[in-house]
Amino acid sequence: MLSDNSRGMIRNKDNKETTESVKLTCRLLSYSYNKGIPARISEFWHILFRTYDKKSPEEYIDYWDYNTVMFESYLFDTYSKWLKGEDIDFEELQNKILPLVESSSMRKVFTGSGDFQDRLWAIFLFLSDPDIKL
């Protein structure tokens, strides 16, 4: 069931009843990455920006900022939980990402699309199963 509870958009890797946005994002990522060479969570920023047809996250993210480094630790822990089948709150993930984006116009692109959390969900689905068919 896709209903959200008060904690945000909670999903786990077994949720296969997805939105159209998740399906489109997974297809985009499948076409964007070479088969046989899996994408990794360490490429998260590049993958996220690719879903918005932006090639250089370096223009928007300061990789050396303490908060970015701390976020990446959180991201790895969150993805590890995802792989174990635990629930992930994609609203919480969104709320940790947005302050790290240095451009207010790029934050508006992320939130203005109305499907930012769906794209994050799709990224996690794709990373855990690059051959996913939705």
Q: What is the mean pLDDT of each run of 10 residues along the chain (134 residues)?
A: 58 92 94 78 96 92 95 98 98 97 94 95 95 82
The length of the chain, given as a count of residues? 134
Whether residue 28 lies inside any domain: the answer is yes
Residue 98, in any domain of the structure: yes
Taking CA atoms, 5 is separated from 1, 13, 70, 97, in Å, by: 11, 17, 27, 21
Residue 83 covered by a domain: yes
pLDDT attached to residue 8:
79
* pLDDT number for residue 7: 59
Residue 9 forms part of a structural domain:
no
The predicted structure's pLDDT at residue 12: 96
* Residue 79 covered by a domain: yes
Tell me the sheet residues that pair with 5.
8
In this prediction, residue 38 carries a pLDDT of 76
pLDDT of residue 33: 83
Q: Residues of 66-103 as b/e, b for ≥16 C-beta within 10 angstroms?
A: eeeeebbeebeebbeebeeeeebbbbbbbeebeebbee
Is 108 inside any structural domain? yes
pLDDT at position 1:
36
* Amino acid identity at 15: N
Instruction: Please report the pLDDT score of residue 2 as a whole number.
Output: 41
In a domain, 5, yes or no: no
**Structural domain total, the chain:** 1
| Structural domain for 104, as ranges | 18-128
For residue 4, is it within any domain?
no
Measured distance CA(60)–CA(119) in Å, rounded: 18
pTM of the model: 0.91
